[in-house]
Amino acid sequence: MTRINVRRTGYMTLREMDKVKWITTSAVLMGMNIVLCAFGIPVPGGHLYLNDVVICTASLLLDPVGAFIVGGLGAFMGDFIFYPLPMFVSLAAHGLQAVAISMLFRRLFPGHRRTAAMISLLTGAVIMVTLYTLGKIYVYSTYEYAMIKLPYEIAQALLGVAGSMLLCFRGGLMDSFHRIMQE
């Protein structure tokens, strides 16, 4: 972000303020994403994985580069370890989801963070669900399988949206994060 953008938006990215804090924060969140790729809530016909909460939360807290590292690379490495077949689909879907959320959140409604977050997260959810559905058609070579899994993808995306909104705004993570990073 250039100086002009800093004046326009009224903030500096964490990457510009302190590279060590940026790298550490990105690494911790990416580690959480990788670990949560292994844990899911069993539902009839599949699982709802909890890593979407971390991806959405990291996308609200970090700049687009950090969001891609946490979302895209974290999901890629988690799938590589636990379930390698869709790992490239996860890289693209969660990476683009995270970048879109991060970019939109920083540019939409600067004075209304909750509204900007909700619109950004829902846009990211649509991106993730669309790319995962298209990716499953390609990976599993069947349209029917992707359509059967579509409701689970939607539920997982909405779980990520709701969880990150609760953590960031109701739980106070957003304010605490910015206060700690300013020290």
Which tens digit of pLDDT belongs to each residue from 76-104?
999 999 889 889 999 999 999 999 999 99
- With CA atoms as reference, report the closest residue to 127 among 80, 93, 175: 93
Using CA atoms, how far apart are residues 106 and 83, in angstroms rounded to an integer? 33
Using CA atoms, how far apart are residues 19 and 26, in angstroms rounded to an integer? 10
Q: Find out whether 54 and 29 touch, Cβ atoms under 8 Å.
A: yes
- With CA atoms as reference, report the closest residue to 181 among 2, 11, 65: 11
pLDDT in tens, 1-55: 333 344 444 455 666 667 888 899 999 999 999 999 888 888 887 788 899 999 9
Residue with tokens 């500096």: 12
Residue 12's pLDDT is 56
Q: Find out whether 76 and 88 touch, Cβ atoms under 8 Å.
A: yes
Q: Running DSSP on this structure, what letter comes out for residue 183?
A: -
DSSP alpha helix (H) spans, 47-172: 51-61, 64-68, 74-82, 87-107, 113-140, 143-165
How many residues are recorded in the chain? 183
Q: Taking residues 102-108, what's their average pLDDT?
A: 94
Question: Which CATH class name applies to 3-182?
Answer: mainly alpha
Determine the Cα angle at 95 with ends 7 and 67, to 5°: 40
Using CA atoms, how far apart are residues 123 and 62, in angstroms rounded to an integer? 17
Residue 83's pLDDT is 86
Q: Which of 21-25, 152-156, 160-164 has the highest average model confidence (pLDDT)?
A: 160-164
Q: Domain ranges for the chain, please list them.
A: 3-182
pLDDT over 70, % of the chain: 91
**Which residues, at least 6 apart from 119, have a Cβ–Cβ distance to it below 8 Å?**
104, 108, 109
